[in-house]
Amino acid sequence: MNAPRLVQLGKLGARPQAPRWLVPLRFRPVAGEVLLTNQAGDHVFVTEAELAELFRGEVAEGSPLHERLRAAHFVHDAAAGERMVERLRARKRFLDYGPNLHIMVVTLRCNETCVYCHASRADMDATETDMTPETAERVVDTILCSTSPSVTIEFQGGEPLVNFPVIRHVVEYAEQKNRAHGKQLEFTMVSNLSLMDEEKLAYLLDKRVQICTSIDGPPALHDRQRKLPLVRSAGAGQAVPTGEAGAYAAAARWMARINEAYAALGLDPVLYHVEALITLTREALAHPRAIVDTYLGLGCRAIFLRPLDPFGFAAKTGHRVGYEVEEYLAFYRAAVDYILELNRKGEQVLERFAALFLTKILSGEDPNYLDIRNPCGAAIGQLAYDFDGRIYTCDEGRMLGRMGDGFFAIGQAGETRYRELMTHETVRAMVVASNLDGQPDCTSCTYNPYCGVCPVHSYATQGSIFGRMRESHLCAVHKGIQDYLFGKLRHADPETRAILERWTTIRPRTHFIQACASPGA
């Protein structure tokens, strides 16, 4: 988009020649004006006429436009250079650590059948897909070798509650082994909650295991997409009535019960509450307001409106549940407009995608959401461990492994040393492929300072971890959301601006937005 614009500028009377005091920048038409960004992530809006004047070298030092650019840190001087270094250092702070998120798939068995299942679930009688205690210990030993001072172990499946004894074993073994490592150790679990009971809940509460579930919208929509049988397995071939009317009722009842228990323990409700994740299908796009209202009714104050991923069963059912990028973006704009409307009426609710990008845009911080990082979090931010102890660069890589493509497998727990994992050729290739300053389309993109790419998504959809961003649906989604947000920032009234700024608050345990990022539960 930038090249044609430069040609037009050249037609305005002179060969484009930026002034020497101007820092390197990128630009993009947004909201009727032109958005300028620099490498440190500063931004400013100018008109097309002002941009033409700037590139003809006609902006005098001390002029109103020059002073606006100076205030936004687009004028080069010694102070600006030092500030840019500090800003870049803050944005890349995550590179000082090793993988902090460790996803353990304790079983592939699941008692729900979802039309888009990304985890390639196994039937409830497939006990051979349960992680054994011995494998679990080898996985924990690998996890505690991470150079990160804090470690989060996330239990996933299938449905992790199917193999609850191994969850207990992991927690207790990890706590015991961590006495020698001294890491900040936390646990999360992604569950459909239908197999929860008071005994399991008491244990999870005692160990402060953060719980996340999936809610796909109003009850009828959720139950059509996530089928829960009338009976559940109790092991050894036994079947026990669920006592629930459907998947939504089970999840909603336990969400309320868990939040109630957190409150009774006196825990901070901002940090301790059940997160929920939606998987947006074609049918869901018709109900932006109903979906937001459903989440509010369940006590959720954050909604993550992510598009469908091309993994697991979704790769086969995409013709039924998928949609075009512009359909998703229309839904997204309608939903976030409604969320902003509710905030203006006093509701405290945010959209996670917006919060992630706004944090980068307005605060200069990186919230460390691993899928939208530069470079991405594959291996250097997270590792995924399948039920058999096989280690993958990330959970998306593991999903492809379950589909029969082991490209992203990098080792085996108990056999592969930590240094071998971190220096694996696939890991090094992933870091290079997700470095936006080395991506042909990303290096000149206006949103380079705020964005990130997923090499696994590129591999799954385009056959290469490097991908072609101008043909990437995920890139189009990220650009569309940032166009929307910058448009809001440019024309926001003071109240709306204050709401958007409030969404950027970085709190402890923000990695739980990543921990709840797998819709396979």
Domain residue limits, the chain: 2-91, 278-368+472-507
Whole-number Cα distances in Å, 47 to 12, 215, 314: 14, 43, 43
Nearest to 396 by CA among 120, 127, 128, 148: 120
Give the three-class secondary structure for 438. helix
Q: How far is it, in rounded angstroms, from Cα 514 to Cα 156?
A: 13
Residue 253 CB-density burial (10 A; 0-12 exposed, 13-18 middle, 19+ buried) = middle
Buried b (16+ CB within 10 A) or exposed e, 300-334: bebbbbbbbbbbbbbbebeeebbbebeebbebbbe
Neighbours of 84 (CB within 10 A): 18
H helices of 22-151, in order, are: 48-55, 64-71, 78-91, 133-143
Q: What is the pLDDT along the chain (521 residues), one digit of tens a residue?
A: 343 344 344 444 445 677 889 999 999 999 999 999 999 999 999 999 999 999 999 999 999 999 999 999 999 887 777 888 888 888 888 888 999 999 999 999 999 888 877 556 888 999 999 999 999 999 999 999 999 999 999 999 999 999 999 999 999 999 999 999 999 999 999 999 999 999 999 999 999 999 999 999 999 999 998 888 754 444 544 444 444 468 999 999 999 999 999 999 998 887 788 989 998 999 999 999 999 999 999 999 999 999 988 765 545 555 678 899 999 999 999 999 999 999 999 999 999 999 999 999 999 889 999 999 999 999 999 999 999 999 999 999 999 998 899 999 999 999 999 999 999 999 999 999 999 999 989 999 999 999 999 999 999 999 999 999 999 999 999 999 999 999 999 999 999 999 999 999 755 444 333 334 343 44
Nearest to 151 by CA among 476, 383, 328: 383
Angle between helices 455-462 and 395-402 (to 10 degrees): 30
Contact 166, 136 (CB under 8 A): yes
Q: What residues contact 372, with CB distance under 8 A and at least 6 apart?
A: 356, 357, 451, 452, 478
Cα distance between the two ends of the chain: 40
- Long-range CB contact pairs, 96-100, < 8 A, 24+: 97/147, 97/148, 97/149, 98/146, 98/147, 98/148, 98/380, 98/422, 99/146, 99/148, 99/377, 99/379, 99/380, 99/381, 99/382, 99/383, 100/146, 100/148, 100/150, 100/151, 100/152, 100/381, 100/382, 100/511
Q: How far is it, in rounded angstroms, from Cα 4 to Cα 130?
A: 56
Q: How far is it, in rounded angstroms, from Cα 145 to Cα 499?
A: 41
pLDDT of residue 436: 96
Q: For 180-201, what is each residue's pLDDT tens digit?
A: 999 999 999 999 999 999 999 9
Q: How far is it, in rounded angstroms, from Cα 455 to Cα 466?
A: 6
Whole-number Cα distances in Å, 134 to 41, 260, 484: 47, 35, 49
pLDDT of residue 230: 56
Contact 88, 44 (CB under 8 A): no
pLDDT of residue 118: 55
Q: What residues contact 180, with CB distance under 8 A and at least 6 apart?
A: none
Chain position carrying tokens 């696994």: 456
